Structure 1
């Protein structure tokens, strides 16, 4: 049973979190079932939202990187 853990910056989906998560989960599930032949009920997708200020790339948080352009 595939288990997919998706971490994303929560501000990316802030305008419609439920809708965007549902769309992402549907497409990820479709990709896995299409390749493996498993049914939708066999694919688990979990989302973890991380604030931009708590996600770092190269020692700088995403919130700061976005402000700098």
Structure 2
């Protein structure tokens, strides 16, 4: 069974975390099911939310990049 870990900047989903996670999980599950035939109940997805201030691209935080 596939285990998919999705890391996402928490501010991106802040206005509706449960709804956005459910939508992402549904789309990812559908894509894997379509591509492999694996049943949806055998596809596991975990979300890890990371603050924009704690996620860096090189030496610049995502928070800082968004202000630019």
TM-score (norm: length of structure 1): 0.95
Q: Are 2:48 and 1:57 equivalent residues in the alignment? A: no
Q: Provide, for residues 13-67 of structure 1, a one-character-per-residue CA deviation record: whole Å limited to 9, x for no partner.
A: 0010000000000000000011111111100000000000000002000111111
Q: After TM superposition, list the pairs within 5 Å mapping 1:1-69 onto structure 2.
A: 1-68=1-68
What TM-score, normalized by structure 2, do the two folds share? 0.97
Count residues with an aligned counterpart.
68
Unpaired runs of at least 5, structure 2 = none
Give the whole-Å Cα distance in 2 for the aligned partners of 1:38 and 1:58: 37
Greater than 6 Å deviation, 4+ residue runs? none
Q: For structure 1, which runs of at least 5 residues remain unmatched after alignment? A: none
